[in-house]
Chain A
């Protein structure tokens, strides 16, 4: 079976692209984007910016494909970036300097917490790894995702989640290695991954 990218979301400062179409949200106000989703999930407001961005992006992806998929058992999450959660690290460090270390900020300094939040939201209980890579690396993603399919997983949620300075750079996508299809169908190749990243 060949694997297909069945839904993707690209988030940058100048906007959000969901499956080739721009969304009407401004990434400088994540609250507005959240309100646009018409969901009730108060925990969202307590998350750090990394988790909020990932939460919103995946929420958009998921509404596109939810009806088709029984995800729980066979989904793998493969996330990466190069600077871990440095923005949240700095936020926590500020509270440290004031001698009032914030427990909730400390928790979000761990990069895998964003995947944990997705697990809680969607009850996805499968395997999840967070990698630190020098830069977005389509070859790594391609090889690692295929390795997951080789060991029997059917779906993968893949993410590149970076914030450097004020720059947002996120790419989130679902890959199906089953007959399940989505709103789009892009061949899972290194070339296509690079194309999605350069959107």
Chain B
């Protein structure tokens, strides 16, 4: 899977996992922050993203603090997943 494909897939998965009904794939910019201003996600959404990483990518995060940088944007999330898969 290319990075572009992964980014698209992640956007779809995020919308589904977090029930972002009023958001479409094109609304999410690759580099825009997911939390705070951007999509307005909150701490529970961050935990749901951790569940998403586990169930879809078999990546286990133990410490919610680790999530902060990883979940900054879809781009950072995709980089983390690619790195993980290659390591």
Interface 9-residue window, one of B1-9, B29-37, B48-56, B73-81? B48-56
Q: How many residues of B contact A (CB 8 A)?
A: 14
Residues of A within 8 A of B45 (CB): 46, 104
Residues of B within 8 A of A104 (CB): 44-45, 47-48
- Are A42's CB and B20's CB within 8 A? yes
* A77-110 CB contacts (< 8 Å) to partner B: 100-104, 107
- Are A103's CB and B20's CB within 8 A? no
Q: How many residues of A contact B (CB 8 A)?
A: 11
Q: Nearest chain B CB to A31's CB is how many angstroms away?
A: 7
Residues of A within 8 A of B18 (CB): 46
- Are A107's CB and B44's CB within 8 A? yes
Q: Nearest chain A CB to B40's CB is how many angstroms away?
A: 7
- Are B19's CB and A103's CB within 8 A? no
- Are B22's CB and A45's CB within 8 A? yes
- Are B40's CB and A103's CB within 8 A? no
Q: Is B21 an interface position by the 8 A CB rule?
A: yes
Chain A 23-34 per-residue mask, 1 if CB under 8 angstroms from chain B, else 0: 000000001000
Chain B 31-71 per-residue mask, 1 if CB under 8 angstroms from chain A, else 0: 00000000010001101100100110000000000000000
> What separation, in Å, do the CA atoms of A103 and B50 have in the docked complex?
10
> What separation, in Å, do the CA atoms of A16 and B38 have in the docked complex?
36
- Are B54's CB and A100's CB within 8 A? yes
Quick one: given A42-B40, A107-B44, are A102 and B51 in contact (CB under 8 Å)? yes
- Are B51's CB and A31's CB within 8 A? no
> What separation, in Å, do the CA atoms of A66 and B16 have in the docked complex?
34
Instruction: Using A40-B22, A42-B23, A101-B51 as known contacts, list a sample of 6 further A-B pairs with CB atoms less than 8 Å apart, ordered by residue number in A.
Output: A42-B20, A45-B21, A103-B47, A103-B48, A103-B51, A104-B45
Q: Could you list which residues of chain A lie within 8 angstroms of chain B, going by C-beta atoms?
A: 31, 40, 42, 45-46, 100-104, 107
Q: Could you list which residues of chain B lie within 8 angstroms of chain A, going by C-beta atoms?
A: 18-23, 40, 44-45, 47-48, 51, 54-55
